[in-house]
Structure 1
Amino acid sequence: MSYIFDSWLSKYPQLLTLEGSGFANLQSRAHKSTDFTDLTIRCGASEFRAHRVVVCSQSSFFKAACVNECRESMTATIELPEDEPQIVERLIEFCYRSDYANFSADPFLGHGKIFAAATEYGIPRAGLAVMMKYEAAAHNDWDAAKFLLSIPYIYESVPESGVGMRNTAVNCAKSRMKRLTEGEKQYNAWKRTCLDVPEF
């Protein structure tokens, strides 16, 4: 994955973090502890404790919820009933570690969901990391069926401002066109995706 990181870093130098420094290690340890947390983020039955200084400094959504005179700022609790806990958990993790755990089942769809959530919650650096991890998944764990499964979601759920994510998916498809259309079953799946998502 190193060559992918290097190529993305040349395009997006803001991906370079303090990883490995004392501060980064301290922040990573804080992610695993509930000591001094002052914000609760709820997704259905799941509850995540966080530090406002960490998440609000990176998310315009969480910052607005905490500084405005609304129920969230008074109770220090943000309710996200419509969101998937595993997606929100990874976004919070990114705020602490500048990275998040990969998906074992459907990596392409999972990364697409992270990108949509990062856009919704105003965490642009997470969006850049998603594109890099999506491309890495295509390089290291290619699965044509799972890749195609992510395309409708990316075009339906990611706003038009997220053109970078769409371009990343297109570039992954272009560089693997032969493998995407290999065999009758795979070709039909590819054709069906193109018909369902003509923008792709």
Structure 2
Amino acid sequence: MPINPSPRESSLVQWILDLNRRGFPPYIIDVRRMADALLAARGQDPPPPPVGKNWVSRFVNSQSKLQTKWNRKPLDVGCFSPLKRAYGHEIQELARQGVYHIDKIDFLTAYTRIRPAVLTQQNIQAGFQATGLIPPCPERVLSSLTVVRTPSPPGTTADNNVAWTAETPRTIAQLEKQAQHVKDLLHY
């Protein structure tokens, strides 16, 4: 990767950051498809081949803006760390016993054994405390959110701020009054 990224690389970085800002995880397949689309947009004849299997990983590693966004994983929440660690130990023990293929039954058996030991009330509460959810700490939770707000439209000014609703006039006098009111609003 060049030190000064090309416009296409910059576009791809901005696209990934925009996905992240809107709360969508940047999946490898989506980034690969976008990179292929950017390559195809060059209009070369013949079209370039698609990016390689490991291209996305190399690209992300070369872009410092993306590394912190990309490396977040949902299971890094505090209460899941002991579960991941215990499951890893359980699988290592199965490997020592000669079991190298883990099917659904093996997974569920291992999970059933380790779950009560690691997903205790204390571990779960500690995970929620780390996020600021228990005890409730709204400032901490809200400060970690990225909230995009649409600005409110500017208010309208009408004669002495009275709301007016158009109605079908029934008499000539009502028609003239309504026409004058509309003219006043237009010239205000």
Return the TM-score normalized by structure 1: 0.21
Q: From the CA coordinates, give the structure whose radius of gyration is larger.
A: 2
Greater relative CO, 1 or 2 (CA 8 Å, sep 6+): 1
Larger strand proportion of the pair: 1
